[in-house]
Amino acid sequence: MARIFAYISHKNGVADDVALELIAAARKIDPGAPLTAILTGSGTEIDTACESLRHSFTEIWKISSGALAYPNAELVRKALARILPRGSFVLVPHDHFGVDLSPGLSIKLNAAFVSDVVEIEGIAPPFLKLVRQEFGGQLSTHVKCDVSSGVVLNIRPGAFKAADVAVNGVVIDKSSEIGELSCGRRYLETVAAESGDVDITRQPVLIAIGRGIQEPDNVSIAQELADAMGAAVCCSRPVVDAKWMPKSRQVGTSGKTVKPKVYIACGISGSFQHLAGIKGNPFLVAINKNPKAPIFQVADVGIVDDLLEFLPELTSKVRELAGAGRK
């Protein structure tokens, strides 16, 4: 059985929580296979991150270099391609970094690549059987992957339940094995997200709108409901792409992470990128005219209706109730 490696990101010395999910994924491939965490970075930050993983991994490879102080996937890929044994299984979180790193890494390692893996069904050499999703989560597929020359798997964060593990691992310094690193893409700076007029991360009740809102003029339909309920309006990516709402209102992996008590998703299909931005297990209501929208699988309550018809009805009912309450 080949070795399994898990690439772990870290920030300010704190390892990404997804590390424990990658351990769970590795166990599903082969619980007996040796599993090594691999980290790149520099200075005390990577030292602290590696140290913190000793309770989770029996072996941690540290690649420390000034060139890797910022996680530039172009440089990280070169370092990994030099150091990873051929035929390895490499697990990477399917996030903004993994999308940047992994497809090219699989080419450099001459390994297979499967992106955005949500389940691992097991291995029957030379094939690994995996589950992915297509069409924004509307359909799943079983994928058979020939892993005889190794594989890079991008694992969807949140898809695997964090492993329960307690070991006493060792950090192995591999820094001297990577040599000089340079690439044609140079990191300059990070620009922080705009804060916007309404802080959706602090709202207990959110009315979220998606592609189903159809027209910019219809945003007011959601705003009227929000006003009646004392809630705020947020949205999914297509609404921001169309410039109907500012980026500061976007919920999801590339937007804000929200923790409301109640989340009413209107005309949102429920891509994993959007759902990943909803934390704290709110009461989730989905309103969508497509009964097969993936959002209905994760919502508490569903309403199959056209939001452009349903929301005004709901708004007038809420107002009626508020009026009755005042009397």
Residues 262-301 close enough to bind another protein by CB under 8 A = 262, 264, 283-286, 290-292, 294, 296-301
CB of 182 to another protein, least distance (A): 11
Neighbours of 164 (CB within 10 A): 8
Q: Name the residue with tokens 């697990």.
A: 91
Binding of another protein by 1 (CB under 8 A): no
- End-to-end C-alpha distance for the chain, whole angstroms: 73
Q: Please, which residue, 8 or 60, has the CB nearer to another protein? A: 8
CB of 290 to another protein, least distance (A): 7
Q: Please, which residue, 47 or 74, has the CB nearer to another protein? A: 74
Cis peptide before 126 (omega within 30 of 0): yes
Long-range contacts formed by 124-133: CB under 8 A, 24+ apart: 128/29, 133/272
Stretch that binds another protein, among 41-49, 51-59, 126-134, 160-168 (CB under 8 A): 126-134
Q: How far apart are CA 150 and CA 5, in angstroms?
A: 11
- The residue within the footprint of another protein, chosen from 24, 83, 99, 163 (CB under 8 A), is 99
Q: How far apart are CA 234 and CA 112, in angstroms?
A: 39
Stretch that binds another protein, among 27-35, 46-54, 61-69, 305-313 (CB under 8 A): 305-313
Binding of another protein by 14 (CB under 8 A): no
Q: At 106, phi and psi to the nearest 5?
A: -60, -35
Q: Please, which residue, 43 or 312, has the CB nearer to another protein? A: 312
Restricted to residues 140-199, the positions that interact with another protein (CB under 8 A) are: 140-147, 149, 183-194
Q: How far apart are CA 81 and CA 104, in angstroms?
A: 10
Restricted to residues 227-266, the positions that interact with another protein (CB under 8 A) are: 229-231, 237-238, 240-243, 247-248, 250, 253-257, 261-262, 264
Burial level of 46, CB count in 10 A (0-12/13-18/19+)?
buried
Query: From residue 318, how far is each of 71, 99, 226, 300, 311 by CA, in Å?
Result: 49, 44, 10, 20, 10
Restricted to residues 41-80, the positions that interact with another protein (CB under 8 A) are: 72-74, 77
Distance of CA 313 to the CA centre of its chain: 35
CB of 66 to another protein, least distance (A): 17
- The residue within the footprint of another protein, chosen from 115, 178, 267, 274 (CB under 8 A), is 115
Q: Please, which residue, 161 or 243, has the CB nearer to another protein? A: 243
CB of 65 to another protein, least distance (A): 18
- The residue within the footprint of another protein, chosen from 43, 125, 179, 204 (CB under 8 A), is 204
User: Tokens representing 149?
Assistant: 């020359």
Size of the site for another protein (CB under 8 A): 100
Radius of gyration of the chain (CA): 23
Q: Please, which residue, 40 or 250, has the CB nearer to another protein? A: 250
Q: How far apart are CA 59 and CA 40, in angstroms?
A: 14
Q: How far apart are CA 174 and CA 145, in angstroms?
A: 30
CB of 166 to another protein, least distance (A): 29
CB of 40 to another protein, least distance (A): 16
